[in-house]
A and B are shown apart, each in its own frame.
Chain A
Amino acid sequence: MRSKLLQLLTSTDSFISGQEISNILGISRTAVWKHIEELRKNGYELEALPRKGYRLLRTPNLASADEIKAQLTTKRIGQNIVYKKAVASTQETAHEQARNGAPEGTIVVADEQLAGKGRLGRNWYSPPGSGLWSSLILRPDIPPHKAPQLTLLTAVAVVEGIREVTGLGSQIKWPNDILLHGKKTAGILTEMQSDPDRIQAVIIGVGMNVNQEAFPEELAETATSLRIEAGGTVYSRAELIAAMLKRFEHWYDHYLMNGFPEIRERWEALTVTIGKEITATTLTKTIKGYAEGITEDGVLILKKSDGTLEHIYSADITL
């Protein structure tokens, strides 16, 4: 039934009403609606207008292993791709992979993440085909307390990858939120499996809003996508992942050889946080101050009004 519906939708560039579809296929309007929703879940983008009906805009833009591989020019980072249609979260899958011995450079990519779905509310759905959800497994031979530097390194790679594919100049909010025109377009969350003195695995999750056309009201003020900021251009997620991994490998190799200093400089050149009065909100307190810079470990240095310095390790930053 769904393939017939697809045939019908692809046979024309104009709208076809729900009633027409219902008549042609001999199914109820409710059944038509259900099939349309199912197509959307599979990555088909459909425009729906009252009194006009449905129109197919786009077939899925997949970021499957084959499509990523076709674009990938790295030596090891991303060479082992675990692609899933839907997962609870790519971090969770990557943790399992890491525990089962997945090699450094393994990347888990999913078309859809189910966890967190409820939090976003019923009227908003992140359709498969719109975002880039990935988790990269690393096994660096560095002391565990150095690992947070990798999260700033990743932010640099994401900004450079976005610029390479889209030409858009995104910026970093400490430590690693990626902003376009002040709105969040990508986020990075890193988790570590470690012994007291040795890293088992560092798992870097990158979530990027790529082809969303709009965000629900409660997010619209703070979130954006590459597509929105580029005035409607749809981007290939496979190309974005490949570009990001290429930049990551460049900086990661540099880091393992030469350490953090040059990455810190690059990070400082791309950030919006430094040189401003900001507010840092932690679990226990709110600190206002002038963001002087970051330490050689990536820790944010705040100068408070009384002249004293405060080192910030974890906080939500508001500019």
Chain B
Amino acid sequence: MFKVNEIKELIRAVDKSGIGELEIRGENKEKLTIKKEVSAAATVSTGEPKETAPAPQPSAPLPAASAEPKEEAPAPVSKENDTAADETLHKITSPMVGTFYRSPSPEADPYVKEGDKVSEETIVCIVEAMKLMNELEAETSGEIVEILVENGELVEYGQPLFLVK
């Protein structure tokens, strides 16, 4: 399967090249496609090899294993970031296990939306456990580019909640 570094290198190569799309197959026939939009933004998608029969030999990787590159691949890369998105974006993580709320009450507007500018002390959400409400501050300044959790969802200790750039 592809290593994250290999994928990053390929993205850079495609980005700088004149080609619009690159499709290659790895050792286990897993497919990696890197497409460049007209705007020069590169996107990455990987998938299971379509023709491969489900694990004929006992030594073959389990079907789940062939899907793994999906998780390892960086999220869609925008044109401003020709390196992996995860490295340049700041993650706001949960300090505890609990329920994630985007607003102070179900009727109220969310604390922040994608695209909002935040500063260190901007409250971005509440995590609740046993009626203890923990209002999380951004602890960084920038712009919320992605909200990774749905309102009302249970979040784990250390789980990323927001991406900030």
Contact = CB atoms under 8 A, between A and B. Distances in A.
Interface of A: 144-145, 147-152, 175-176, 188-197, 202, 282-284, 297-299, 313-314
Interface string B70-108: 000000000000000000000001011111010000100
B50 interface: no
A188 B157 CA distance: 24
B135 interface: yes
B97 A145 contact: yes
A120 B93 CA distance: 37
Nearest to A193: B135
A194 B96 CA distance: 11
A241 to B, nearest CB: 20
A316 to B, nearest CB: 10
Given A283-B101, A284-B152, A284-B153, A197 B133 contact: no
Contacts of A152: 130
A284 B100 CA distance: 11
Given A151-B131, A194-B134, 7 more contacts: A190-B133, A192-B135, A193-B135, A283-B106, A283-B152, A299-B129, A313-B98
Contacts of B97: 145, 297, 299, 313
11 contacts: A145-B96, A145-B97, A148-B130, A176-B130, A192-B133, A282-B152, A283-B151, A297-B97, A299-B130, A313-B130, A313-B154
Contacts of A145: 95-97, 157
B153 A148 contact: no
A14 B96 CA distance: 60
A195 B135 CA distance: 10
Nearest to B128: A314
A192 B131 contact: no
Contacts of A189: 131, 133
Interface residues of B, number: 22
Interface centre among B101, B128, B134, B135 (most CB of A within 10 A): B134
A188 B129 CA distance: 13
Interface centre among A148, A149, A193 (most CB of B within 10 A): A148
For the complex of A and B, 3 pairs with smallest distance between CB atoms = A283-B152, A145-B96, A148-B130
A298 B95 CA distance: 17
A148 B128 CA distance: 9
A249 B103 CA distance: 33
Given A191-B135, A283-B152, A148 B129 contact: yes
B134 A175 contact: no
B133 A313 contact: no
Contact of B134 (A149, A150, A188, A192): A192
Interface centre among B101, B132, B152 (most CB of A within 10 A): B132
A313 B99 contact: yes
Contacts of B98: 148, 313-314
Contacts of B130: 148-149, 151-152, 175-176, 298-299, 313-314
Interface centre among A144, A151, A297 (most CB of B within 10 A): A144
B152 A144 contact: no
A299 B132 CA distance: 12
B123 to A, nearest CB: 11
Nearest to B98: A313
Contacts of B154: 313
Interface centre among A152, A188, A192, A299 (most CB of B within 10 A): A192
A40 B141 CA distance: 49
A102 B23 CA distance: 62
A172 to B, nearest CB: 12
Nearest to A196: B95
B139 interface: yes
Contacts of A192: 132-135
Given A195-B139, A314-B99, A147 B93 contact: no
Given A191-B132, A191-B135, A313-B130, A148 B99 contact: no
Interface string B102-142: 00001000000000000000000000111111110001000
